[in-house]
Amino acid sequence: MRNMSVDLCGVKLKNPLIAASGTFGFGREYDELYDISAWGAIAVKGLTDEPRAGNPPRRIAETSSGILNSVGLQNPGVDAFIRDELPRLASRGATVIANVAGSTAESCAEAARKLSDSPVAMIELNISCPNVKQGGAQFGACPEDAARVTAAVRSVCSRPLMVKLSPNVTDIASIAQAVQDAGADAVSLINTVTGMAIEARTRRPALANITGGLSGPAIKPIALRMVWQTAGGVRVPVVGMGGITTGTDAAEFMIAGATAVMVGTANITDVMAGPRILRELEDFLDENGIEDAGELTGSLILD
């Protein structure tokens, strides 16, 4: 019998596929279509300590090989999530990863503290958010800031802590090493790549925020490279994401060093992407005589 389960920081996932934060929301819409507990885990929409309305529209623009978004972390806040969404997810048997963000290290820590008292399996800290105290820079833009916010969250977080890294940096492996040393149990990468789109006829930006985060197949080669570089430089598990649309894509990220993978934009372009990619990954293992999905992790041959 093929074994699809993987261990992520002591959390056993039934398979390596995780619904990425953002595009899967809180799983309500997908729950009407299939059993969402089929995912190894669900990383819910990014949560902040207080509710956020997000950015003004237009917030999403399609590109030739992905999408640009500047949603702006619209969410109901941690308290509402724990009260209204988490019980429903738990009743479905889903393994829940709570994604948290904030404008300050203190607000990130407060959100994580509240979630640590809830039945989430793991917390994913998004450090690709505006850092108000640093003039609008991202927490994840330099090792020092990344370590500082990770340490603040680690001090109040009783759950396994995974830190989501930004690709919009010079050396992502150094950021990963900094958050590892500050107490992260795992890292996930990559978040979206900063980009923009222009409507030539109107000569206006396609997004109200002008720039946004590019996701989808266009960023897969960038993501693969960064996952491989990071996996070779840290001791903690790596969760890979960025343009995964097929089971073979998922296998490639694991071969590059990922313990598990996240599927994001594919859930928008194909609402049945999760079950399909899982079947394709299972087929890949069978076709290649692999009995344990974990055998793929870090198996890249370089000679």
For residue 96, what are the contacts with CB-CB under 8 A and spacing of at least 6?
41, 42, 44, 86, 89, 90, 119, 120, 121
Q: Would you say 143 and 177 are in contact if contact means Cβ atoms under 8 Å apart?
A: yes
Crossing angle of helices 247-255/220-231, nearest 10°?
Answer: 30
Structure tokens at 2: 């093929």
The residue type of 35 is D
Q: How far is CA 25 from CA 9, 30, 153, 263, in A?
A: 24, 9, 23, 12
Largest CA distance in the chain: 58
- For residue 130, the tally of other CB atoms under 10 A from its CB is 17
Structure tokens at 217: 């197949």
For residue 291, what are the contacts with CB-CB under 8 A and spacing of at least 6?
1, 2, 3, 285
Q: Catalytic residue numbers?
A: 129
